[in-house]
Structure 1
Amino acid sequence: MENQETDKELYILWKSGDKETALSMVFMYTLNCKIKGWWEEVTLMVWGPSAKLLATDEELQGRVRQMMESGIHVTACISCAQMFGVVEDLRSLGIDVKPLGLPLSELLQANKKVLSV
């Protein structure tokens, strides 16, 4: 049986470079998870092509700011951000840009709730 802390944490791995996927699923669900209390702790992990999309799209940037203001932790993979040349763009949004390979592996090995989109 899982402990209660595990049951209250959700990690959303956003890896799609598609804006419609971001708006109609990733962002809508992520924000509602927090503001409606479906999950106590919510983390959005920006990975791969989503890093480039976020760095270049003002509408999505505004949505991410709204998420952060709602208490959602937003982090981005530094290797992906470096690949697309957007490290400073993401950091300027207040996103925690850091290595995520090991942390993601640890989440999965600990049977944490990870939703990949």
Structure 2
Amino acid sequence: MKKKNLLLIISTDNVDSILKFPLLYGGVSIPRGYWKRVHIMFWGASIKVAASKKKIRKEIKQMQKNGVEFSSCIVCAEEYGVVKSLEKIGITCNHTGELLNKALQNDKLWATLTI
């Protein structure tokens, strides 16, 4: 059985790295048929970047049009005070450990990469 879902976890605050790997690859993965489902999870320092950098926010909105899902660690988002800012651009703020745990325990369905 071939994996169909990709979970990309971003924890870096390096804007260039975020744009050139997880957002670039994640953004083309559904249209090109690499993956059926792509979920990008912001964790830690990357949350501040997603909330504040226009270039990142613009890319997220475009990727959502192609079916890419986004979430953010609610604990981190609350600590940074950016929950409303993230939710405005369609990033769900929740307990991301639940999806991460599910993906890690079911490696027949999910491929997981951390950046």
Shorter chain as normaliser: what TM range?
over 0.9
Q: Shift of the alpha carbon at 1:95?
A: 1.1
Amino acid in structure 1 at the alignment position of 2:114: S
Q: Answer with 28-37 or 62-71: which moved more.
A: 28-37
The answer on 1:113 being equivalent to 2:111 is yes
Which of 96, 99, 107 matches 2:95? 99
Q: TM-score, normalised by structure 1?
A: 0.91
Aligned residues: 113
Q: TM-score, normalised by structure 2?
A: 0.92
For 1:36-75, what aligned pairs fall within 5 Å after superposition? Answer: 36-75=32-71
Moved over 3 A (4+): none
Q: Shift of the alpha carbon at 1:107?
A: 1.4
Structure 2 spans left out of the alignment, 5+ residues: none
Structure 1 spans left out of the alignment, 5+ residues: none
Q: Shift of the alpha carbon at 1:28?
A: 0.6
Query: More helix by proportion, 1 or 2?
Result: 1
Q: Secondary structure at the match of 1:54?
A: helix
**Cα-to-partner distance string for 1:76-105 (whole Å, 9 max, x where unaligned):** 110111121111110011111111123212
Aligned residue for 2:22? Answer: 26
**RMSD over aligned Cα, in angstroms?**
1.1
The CA distance in 1 between the partners of 2:29 and 2:20, in whole Å, is 14
Of structures 1 and 2, the one with the larger relative CO (CA 8 A, separation 6+) is: 2
The CA distance in 2 between the partners of 1:114 and 1:80, in whole Å, is 20
